């Protein structure tokens, strides 16, 4: 059974840790992000995190119910950073595009954390704020509620799916990633037009595109579809 989390006021350390760190949720999460970047998800344990903070591992359980709770907090931190990097303009398509790109960019800046958290639902305040912002954009633009939920679902899943996919590539070693990317210029480019005519015809184009994320293209496709649906809704006779 998970230990109950100590209330905020009661869990604050009055004294710094052995390394001079005054603990807080934010300090722990940022340290966990650094450990993920340096060691990957297998390197993030309560014992190692406590050592990095200069505190006993059990101290972490005053702030989080367990490592899974910490994982959700890491996910919320990524969403929060994306929100902080985003500014609403009041134009729904511009705002969704900018927010989607901010989410994608933030997750790719922390690829190990992205792979660990992109599939999770945190239920924490910053994630809830992001969901509220997306639905506010859509409903204010005039999307009926049922349509707004469909577009919201597609928008957030697209952003997180590509964040996880593209981050997964970034967690590979430089050598492995370079070898994968080189396949488009070696294996695919060398296929015979007699046996693989369509690949052979498009090989140079494939080599130029396949080492880049398809997220911007798919995001625009989603926005085009949403805009067309909104136009149809506005064109329907009232009553």
Q: So where are the chain's domains?
A: 1-65, 88-235
Q: What is the residue-averaged pLDDT of the chain?
A: 92
| Closest-CA residue to 98 (of 157, 142, 155, 144) | 155
Mean pLDDT throughout 46-57? 92
CB–CB of 119/99 below 8 Å? no
CB–CB of 152/223 below 8 Å? no
Mean pLDDT throughout 109-121? 96
- Give the CA radius of gyration of the chain: 22
In this structure, CATH architecture of domain 88-235: Orthogonal Bundle (1.10)
Domain 1-65 of CATH type 3.30.70? no
Check whether 6 has a pLDDT greater than 60: no
Q: In the structure, what pLDDT confidence band is assigned to residue 19 with cuts at 50, 70 and 90?
A: low
The tokens describing 65, both together, are 């119910």
For 22, the enclosing helix (H) or strand (E) is: none
Q: What is the pLDDT of residue 41?
A: 86
Q: What is the pLDDT of residue 1?
A: 42
Mean pLDDT throughout 150-164? 98
């Amino acid at each position: 059974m998970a230990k109950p989390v100590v209330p905020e006021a009661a869990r604050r350390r009055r004294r710094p840790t052995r390394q001079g760190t005054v603990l807080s949720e934010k300090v722990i999460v940022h340290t966990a992000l650094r450990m993920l970047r340096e060691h990957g998800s297998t390197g993030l344990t309560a014992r190692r995190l406590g050592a990095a903070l200069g505190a006993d591992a059990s101290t972490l359980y005053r702030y989080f119910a367990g490592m899974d709770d910490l994982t959700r907090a890491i996910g919320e931190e990524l969403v929060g950073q994306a929100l902080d990097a985003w500014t609403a303009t009041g134009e729904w398509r511009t705002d969704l595009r900018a927010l989607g790109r901010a989410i994608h960019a933030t997750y790719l800046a922390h690829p190990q954390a992205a792979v660990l958290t992109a599939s999770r639902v945190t239920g924490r305040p910053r994630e809830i704020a992001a969901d509220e912002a997306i639905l506010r954009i859509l409903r204010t633009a005039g999307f009926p509620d049922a349509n707004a939920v469909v577009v919201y679902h597609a928008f957030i899943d697209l952003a997180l799916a590509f964040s996880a996919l593209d981050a997964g590539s970034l967690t590979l070693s430089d050598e492995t990633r370079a070898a994968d990317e080189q396949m488009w210029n070696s294996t695919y480019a060398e296929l015979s037009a007699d046996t693989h005519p369509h690949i052979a015809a498009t090989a140079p184009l494939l080599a130029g595109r396949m080492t880049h994320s398809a997220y911007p293209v798919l995001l625009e496709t989603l926005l085009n579809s949403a805009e067309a649906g909104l136009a149809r809704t506005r064109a329907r006779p009232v009553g």
